[in-house]
Amino acid sequence: MTVYVSIEEAAEQLKSAHRVLVIGCSGGGKSTLSNRLCERLGLPYVSMDRDFYWLPGWVKRDKAEERVLITETVARARWLMDGTGQSTFDLRLPRTNMVIWVRLPRWRCLLGVTRRGFRYSGKTRPEMAEGCLEQIPDREFLSYIWNFEKRTVPQILLQLQKHGPDVPVLQLKSHAEMRCLLDLLGAPA
Span 169-176, average pLDDT: 98
pLDDT at 180: 98
Domain residues for the domain of 17 are 3-185
Count of domains in the chain? 1
Entry pTM: 0.96
Query: Does an H or E element contain 170, and which?
Result: strand 168-172
pLDDT value at position 1? Answer: 84
Long-range contacts of 67-75 (CB under 8 A, 24+ apart): 67/91, 73/46, 74/19
Q: What is the DSSP string of 51-74?
A: IIIEETTTEEPPHHHHHHHHHHHH
Identify the helix (H) or strand (E) that includes residue 171: strand 168-172
Q: Is the pLDDT of residue 5 over 90?
A: yes
Dist. CA 59–CA 70, nearest whole Å? 18
Predicted confidence (pLDDT) at residue 68 exceeds the cutoff of 80 = yes
CB atoms within 10 A of CB 112: 21
Q: 84: which residues sit within 8 A by CB, 6+ positions away? A: 23, 24, 25, 30, 48, 152, 156
Q: How confident is the model at residue 7 (pLDDT cuts 50, 70, 90)?
A: very high
User: Domain of 181: which CATH number?
Assistant: 3.40.50.300
> How distant is the alpha carbon of residue 164 from its chain centre?
16
Q: Is 23 strand, coil or helix?
A: strand
Confidence of residue 174 (pLDDT cuts 50, 70, 90): very high
Q: What is the pLDDT of residue 71?
A: 98
